[in-house]
Amino acid sequence: MEKQQIQVATAQRDIKWADGFRGLAALLVVSSHLTLTFFPAALPPSSSKSALPSWYQLPYLRLLFTEGFPWVAVFFLLTGFVNALGPIKKARSSRPETALASLSSSTFRRVFRLVLPCTIMTVVSWAICQFDGYEMGRISSSEWIRNTSPMKSANFLAAVRALAKWIFKTWAHGENTYDKNQWTMIWFLKGSMMLFLILLALVRATPSWRVGVLAGLYIWAFIKKDSMIGLPIYAGALLAEASLHPRIVAFAASRTVASRIIPVALLLLGGFLTSYPYKNADWSPWSHFLKDLATNLFPKGASPRNFWCAIGVQLIALSILLSASFQRILSHPILVWLGGISFPIYLIHGPLLRSCFQWFLFAGIAPQKFSEKNDKGEMKEWERLPAAEGWKLAIGLPLFFAVLLLLAHVWTVKVEAWCARVTKWAEERMVGKTSQADEKREQSPLLLPLSNPGSVAGSSGRPSDEIGAVQVYEYRDARSLV
């Protein structure tokens, strides 16, 4: 009876909120890069040690504009959550063989579905660079834009060599001069492979042992200062396990005082921790307090910013998991749609911001010339564009987002679809079409007859045809990788 309750609760669990959370994170990463470009003064928690903070520098509010790293941490956490959810669901349904087959296929697909789109975007950005598309960005008044706008190669052969070099370094060292936002891709790949290996070992374990091992790995990652991969990936897997527990489902759907207070408290605490500033934490009392607290809580040499962001994001995700209201908000169709195109948003926004948007703002404006003597007494000259005019930003920013979302949608429909076909073709050639068909039959949803579908956890009244929801989201994650 208890086993059947677990299966029913698992089947009815709606995780559209994960797509919505991912879509929101993608937009706020873009927002943080716009702040880095046009308003870097907003990054510290105050303009100086003695000054009072402006409204946009306050905790919580700064998350909407200045802090991009917490939202990258969201991508890592959701990578752990979504990639663990399918295998754990099958393991809890007493289908370990199906879970193993799914893990084998996911491991193969993950490499292709990360490497192919990133390589295509690198080639596009390389072409923009060779046709002088980044020249306006190279003389921008924004330090971040200048540092992320690559230089054109001297000739075609040098350009081809540079392209091959940076495609290789993207996956070898996490560096890509043509799209520096791709520094995260090697970590996504490593994190995914690490999680698949762990799930491979734990898929036959009982839920309690699986939770124990994942919790132990989380503690180990904490001690080893692995705040980039280990903490969010293991936390995501633990949340996936928790999301399939009937008591967690029932708590989230209940209307008790605890179910209303606890998620809000976790959300507020998580938002406060993730507000930790990018730099100059000593300039404001609240961030100085967190910096001092980090010295006592975290291992020696750990980055306070990385740890606070990782832990804060995990608390926010836990608050969503425990609140049907938060899940309903993040399941809004617009946010879910943004989640479906979050990967191309992440890939496209950097090159678009450094090329087309810079030309829109500064075309026809002559750069100012500067010169100074270096340490050797030699005269050094350079050019800088002025700051962007307010009226152009007012017109350009909505236009930038509109073009970005349009390109991301087209990318999803055309490029991602092509990558999916290539991945499927490669997998069929490697494992054989017959094996693919057998795996597909084994992965078909386990339908459980319900005498009263409307009474299942959540009291949503939804019929039992939602049982295959996890399979749908397992596929969606192959498309929405960040």
Can you tell me whether residue 381 is helix, strand or coil? strand
What H or E segment, with its residue span, contains residue 373?
strand 368-373
Neighbours of 41 (CB within 10 A): 11
* The two three-digit tokens of residue 209, written as one number: 């042992």
CA atoms within 13 A on the CB side of 476: 25
Instruction: Output the pLDDT for position 1.
Output: 42
> What is the pLDDT at residue 446?
37
- Which residue in the block uniquely carries the two structure tokens 């943004």? 338
**What pLDDT shows up at residue 122?**
97
Rounded percentage of the chain residues whose pLDDT exceeds 70: 85
- Residues of the chain with pLDDT below 70 are 1-14, 372-379, 433-482
Burial readout 180-189 (b: 16 or more C-beta within 10 A, e: otherwise): bbbebbbbbb
Cα 267 to Cα 58, 271, 319, 328: the distances in Å are 16, 6, 6, 15
Q: What is the pLDDT of residues 426-452, one digit of tens each?
A: 988 887 764 444 545 444 443 333 333
pLDDT reported for residue 365: 86
Give the pLDDT of residue 373: 66
Contact 217, 195 (CB under 8 A): no
Residues 6+ apart with CB under 8 A from 451: none
Q: Quickly tell me which residue has 């693919």 as its tokens.
A: 436
Residue 13 is predicted with a pLDDT of: 52
Residues 443-446: contacts with CB under 8 Å, at least 24 apart: 443/90, 443/98, 443/101, 443/102, 443/471, 445/11, 445/471, 446/7, 446/11, 446/93, 446/95
Burial, 257: exposed, middle or buried (Cβ in 10 Å; 0-12, 13-18, 19+)?
Answer: exposed
Domain range list for the chain: 2-46+69-365+393-479
Task: Note the pLDDT of residue 97.
Answer: 86
Q: What is the pLDDT of residue 377?
A: 66
Assess contact for 84 and 237: CB atoms under 8 A: yes
Q: What is the pLDDT of residue 304?
A: 93
What pLDDT does residue 428 have? 87
Let me know: does 338 contact 74? Beta carbons within 8 Å. Answer: no
Which among 184, 183, 187 is positioned nearest to 195, based on CA atoms? 187
